[in-house]
Structure 1
């Protein structure tokens, strides 16, 4: 018996141990990139002991970390043609594993792709709450949380197919681009529907569909001359991300050790008097306990995030990014990340979430800001979000007794500070988004919705609207995020009402939609709004007037924030009215003669295309 055991043990010891690579990221790459270097990460049990070889492609660097389960291989793709290759893992002269790898052909003019800009209207939606096009994937064995539409914070089953099924609706509304909240896999046990705590950044969450489905969404949009904006998260991953169980390096994430809460004080990023303690806890602290903070100071992390972003652009043929919690990142690291992407794609627009309440502090984060330059900083970020305008909109239309600095004057004062921004026409303007109070909950009167949307659609910058508001959808932020992220009516089989079609909309939904459709489709072709100069007048008696002007066109916008009609003396606006004798009101299709005075109804807006 002892002899038999000895023979078995001897045989087992003689069996060669084979490498086992479980992950290869990026899973493939492209030939002909401007930056010819790509760093391929291999993950598997103890694979760092092996030496990689790749016939036909130069290996520039082999990087090993303190974790022997990772191997980072930097390749030079300069001159490498599209095709299939093999990465060999060797132990001495013996091949332990052969890993297929591919370099694909880029789309024609991929580097010079156009992006979203001030001519677009961005429709923000949350895929889980928009429409359920494939109920078969509502729950999935690869992820923990299952569908539960009765739970505000649960998975409701919206998916990519649901978006594709209703592109006619979004196009009819007048939107030209879709910004969807993230779609990469989020394997949290609960609240995974928002997908900001991602567990795999190379994989679409299976409850939304597949990577191919996402690519198909972009393709279907492009057929309509519409655009797809990817919501990218650079600051953090989810606690269930596969790497969190086996980090490549201890400092892949910020550790205190382990969890440390951010102080959310983004002003520490530019405060010349800041303590290092506060500075660290802003940038390095975790957003919440379920979102480990990524360390962009680590070159491996920064390169991983950069390549992942570029991979999605090439793979899905994307038209732009919105970057979550931009100003919580390591500010030097995120500037490098942003520049690497815009170097590869010079026209690619990236809007960063800089949720601050002071224009100078927000302007600090836009590319080529003179404010940032004071401290020698340039974020390279093309677009910031106009949160101060949002702040004003949240207040102005409900002010009962206006004062020197409250009421509609708050809109005027916001635009006074436009000089702070290096590129004011490339700023994202919005009344609400998926994190803020619903505009129709705050202002339940249709007239206030008209005022807010007229403003958003006619001022400088890139307008963004939030799904459902165009049909009067409400939601109470005080009841939780789930309530401001309600299901779009008609997006689920069996819904009692569908707002996706004119026949299915009730009277209230129709009123909101018809107004929105008229306004947004007019804007689509109004180049004077896309690129015109703004001339504004100090509001009087809660009436705000501004002009958008090009050499070819002049538009006069009037917002009456009163509950009574007002009469304007037009002499005050003669420098812009010039010899114009009439104006066509875009919202009513009526022509108004321009005399000495102009009357406007209570809580009304007018958009006048001036004519001789």
Structure 2
């Protein structure tokens, strides 16, 4: 059968080519079956049904049965005879496995056992990341090479080449595990790693957003078992593991893209069509149909086929894949790449399927919109979404509006009207748009943005002001690896420059920034401040879930309070170059009967009945006593 996929200026027709492989989950496969996905499932799930994909040459010709006919609830064949999708009801299964019988003309051709594993105790009630956490974002290929034996793998195309800025540099899961204590010492309580599943692109595969197998960790990062071990080691340190998940697209080398189950598994056009990236068309009631369709259905880039999540088979496949990883790797959260590039109805069903299974789980979506009304549309129970009778069911979104502001304001010294720290004031003033502003992921930078320290030319005063805001403003703070030691990088030189190797992660590195002794004085100044700040943050629940009262900035000085029934914290950000004196009388509605305040990083005591001096380009965090 022929499945046509249009690439830029090239029309390629894929015919069935057997994909020979050794299945990685130690499942014994019959010769007629080349893949089973999910490779196994779990008993006791909220949704008792699981759709099992069997893949093999002409496998659709067989009749499939089990000893108990009630176990199989649906059999789906597609245009491609190499696939058959069997849905079973796990509640009807006796024991820990299902024995499938494949018959041809009423004669048994072969059988296949399918395992149902027992879930962890209280798995459904697992608690996701929240505003009490600080999330550390790293790119595994660029963080640390803990196992040089997996730098190359015979099953993947691109080979180790640390001399190539955009090549594979050898960082891996073992490297993360070996430096968990370093990350923990920063005050980080969770880790978001960019994707770890296999990406078999011939080049630039290090970022792994063009995945070729979503049930398999890229062998250059390690094994599935290594990923499980990472979660186990993190949980020993009370840290949470957040997986980067891609719902919108796969890579061209994905085995299913090479032999599509059905032509509409991906979005196809007569000629290659790229998304217009205009995400506002989704909620825009005045948008043209063609603009909206191209926005949703167009490919992200030529090397990433756009998945059709409105195909029920695709939707079910993606739901189960995410749930499988949560159960198998004992995940604590998911960051969803390009969340609103998928069809809204489909992606909301995907999200709800996960939160139905795990009511306390958290997912944060990458919504690269800067307008807060448009951003709010995508958070669960948004009042703006409800106007259009839409609910994404997505608990958290990334606050790109705040990120953009933090990359501008510290060079705006005058702070006139809507400049300087007033930009942040205005952002917080629009929190009413969000049903849960404390569940926004807040950040100064990430792996796709300009490097903060590059923008501000390593002016540590500006870094300290930004980190102080992230540690004390509502939301879940996220730190990008290397910023805590002053790492910079010029995005104008390419993405690889903002994704440099962490110094000390490779044998032979002359600078080992993972240790106090190995860091330079410059790096230790950044690290010591960051570590003290975010370790303090762990101790103060007023900045986790407390209320906010903020005051209109004056002279480029922003004052706000985070407080609950038992604690109150006063934060002063002086973004002007000059020393300012803060008259505390203006803030009596929050100071109330408090007499003194201790600055949390210096232990200096301030008398709240007197004016508070603050140096130019600096911040104070005052715990009221």
Tell me the TM-score normalized by structure 2. 0.94
1:509: how far off?
A: 0.5
- Of residues 368, 371, 375, the one that matches 1:358 is 371
User: Paired residue for 2:64?
Assistant: 52
The alignment status of 1:482 with 2:496, answered yes or no, reads yes
- Of residues 18, 34, 39, the one that matches 1:22 is 34
User: What is the root-mean-square deviation of aligned Cα atoms in Å?
Assistant: 1.1
Structure 1: gaps of 5 or more residues: 1-17
Distance (whole Å) between structure 1 residues aligned to residue 94 and residue 236 of structure 2: 29
User: Paired residue for 1:457?
Assistant: 471
Does the residue aligned with 1:548 lie in a helix, a strand or coil? strand
- Of residues 461, 464, 486, the one that matches 1:447 is 461
Distance (whole Å) between structure 1 residues aligned to residue 270 and residue 239 of structure 2: 46
1:272: how far off?
A: 0.6
- Of residues 407, 414, 419, the one that matches 2:420 is 407
User: Paired residue for 1:438?
Assistant: 451
Compare 73-82 and 503-512 and name the one that shifted more. Answer: 73-82
Distance (whole Å) between structure 2 residues aligned to residue 458 and residue 402 of structure 1: 21
Distance (whole Å) between structure 2 residues aligned to residue 576 and residue 169 of structure 1: 37
User: Paired residue for 1:343?
Assistant: 356
Does the residue aligned with 1:21 lie in a helix, a strand or coil? coil
User: Paired residue for 1:535?
Assistant: 549
Distance (whole Å) between structure 1 residues aligned to residue 161 and residue 31 of structure 2: 42
1:93: how far off?
A: 2.5
Asked whether the 8 Å contact 1:238–1:291 carries over to 2, the reply is yes
1:84: how far off?
A: 3.0
The alignment status of 1:470 with 2:484, answered yes or no, reads yes
- Number of equivalenced pairs: 594
User: Paired residue for 2:26?
Assistant: none
1:47: how far off?
A: 0.6
Distance (whole Å) between structure 2 residues aligned to residue 99 and residue 235 of structure 1: 32
Distance (whole Å) between structure 2 residues aligned to residue 273 and residue 541 of structure 1: 41
- Deviations, residues 352-393 of structure 1 (Å, cap 9, x unaligned): 000001000000000001100111100000001111001111
User: Paired residue for 1:146?
Assistant: 159
- Of residues 92, 109, 112, the one that matches 1:96 is 109
Instruction: Decide whether aligned partners of structure 1 residues 81 and 565 sit closer, same or farther in structure 2, where only a CA change above 3 A counts.
Output: farther
What are the within-5 Å matches in structure 2 for residues 7-406 of structure 1?
20-56=32-68, 58-257=71-270, 259-406=272-419
Asked whether the 8 Å contact 1:82–1:102 carries over to 2, the reply is no
1:460: how far off?
A: 0.5
User: Paired residue for 1:499?
Assistant: 513
Does the residue aligned with 2:86 lie in a helix, a strand or coil? strand
- Of residues 530, 544, 551, the one that matches 1:516 is 530
Distance (whole Å) between structure 2 residues aligned to residue 225 and residue 60 of structure 1: 41
Does the residue aligned with 2:408 lie in a helix, a strand or coil? helix
Does the residue aligned with 1:354 lie in a helix, a strand or coil? coil
Structure 2: gaps of 5 or more residues: 1-29
Asked whether the 8 Å contact 1:31–1:82 carries over to 2, the reply is no
Distance (whole Å) between structure 2 residues aligned to residue 293 and residue 577 of structure 1: 54
User: Paired residue for 1:555?
Assistant: 569
User: Paired residue for 1:12?
Assistant: none
- Deviations, residues 503-529 of structure 1 (Å, cap 9, x unaligned): 111101100000000000000121011
Asked whether the 8 Å contact 1:259–1:292 carries over to 2, the reply is no
1:82: how far off?
A: 5.0
Asked whether the 8 Å contact 1:19–1:97 carries over to 2, the reply is no
Does the residue aligned with 2:351 lie in a helix, a strand or coil? helix
Does the residue aligned with 2:360 lie in a helix, a strand or coil? coil
Does the residue aligned with 2:325 lie in a helix, a strand or coil? helix
User: Paired residue for 2:611?
Assistant: 597
1:189: how far off?
A: 0.5
Instruction: Decide whether aligned partners of structure 1 residues 258 and 105 sit closer, same or farther in structure 2, where only a CA change above 3 A counts.
Output: farther
1:258: how far off?
A: 6.0
1:21: how far off?
A: 1.0
